[in-house]
Amino acid sequence: MEKNKFRVRDTLENKWVNANILLDHSGLLLWSFGGSHDLVIDLTGIRYVVQFFIGLHDKHGKKIYTGDILTWAHLPDDPPCVVEWIQKEACFACECPANTNYNSWIDSSCEIIGNKYENKDLLV
C-alpha cells in the first residue's frame, strides 16, 4: 500500500514548506527536524494549503496534485482547468470556467502546466 502523498504551500511566504510533515486527525502539524531543536507548528489556519496527490500522473509521468493546472493537447480550444476535490461527486475533477466545456475527467493525456498558487496568470 502506498503512503498518502501531499505537499504544503505557505501562502504568506509564497513558497513550498520544506520539512517533515505530519497530518493528524485534528489538522495539519509541521514537524521540522534538523535545527537546534524540534519544532512543532500548527498549520491548520488559512496561511497553509495542503495539496493532495490524487493518484494519477500526467502524460510526462508527473504526479497530479489538487490545485494543479491542467491542459489537454487534444482539446486546444479549452482553457486550463484546476484539479479540485468535488465533494458532491466524491471525486477529484477539473474545474473550468462556467462558459466552457466542463472537463470533469482527468486522465494520463493531460499535462500539468502549473498550479493555482504559483501560476494564477494561466487561469482565464
Q: Classify residue 34 as left (phi > 0), alpha (psi -120 to 50) or beta.
A: left
Of the ranges 48-52, 65-69, 83-87, 99-103, the best mean pLDDT one: 65-69
d(CA 82, CA 68): 6
CATH architecture assigned to 54-118? Roll (2.30)
Distances (CA, A) of 84 to 4, 39, 78, 89, 101: 17, 31, 17, 11, 16
Whether residue 1 has pLDDT greater than 50: no
Nearest to 80 by CA among 68, 65, 92, 69: 69
Whether residue 3 has pLDDT greater than 70: no
Mean pLDDT of the chain: 79
Neighbours of 103 (CB within 10 A): 20
Whether residue 112 has pLDDT greater than 90: yes
Q: What contacts 17, CB < 8 A, 6 or more positions away?
A: 7, 8, 9, 10, 30, 43, 48
Neighbours of 14 (CB within 10 A): 9
Domain-by-domain residue ranges, the chain?
6-48, 54-118
**Chain-centre distance for alpha carbon 51:** 4
Residue bearing the bigger pLDDT, 99 or 110: 110
Whether residue 58 has pLDDT greater than 80: yes
Whether residue 67 has pLDDT greater than 80: yes
Whether residue 26 has pLDDT greater than 50: yes
pLDDT at position 44 is 63
Quick one: cell of 70? 491542467
Q: Which of 11-15, 22-26, 79-83, 120-124 has the lowest mean pLDDT?
A: 22-26
In the predicted model, what is the mean pLDDT of residues 5-14?
Answer: 85
Q: Which of 8-12, 24-28, 62-66, 108-112 has the lowest mean pLDDT?
A: 24-28
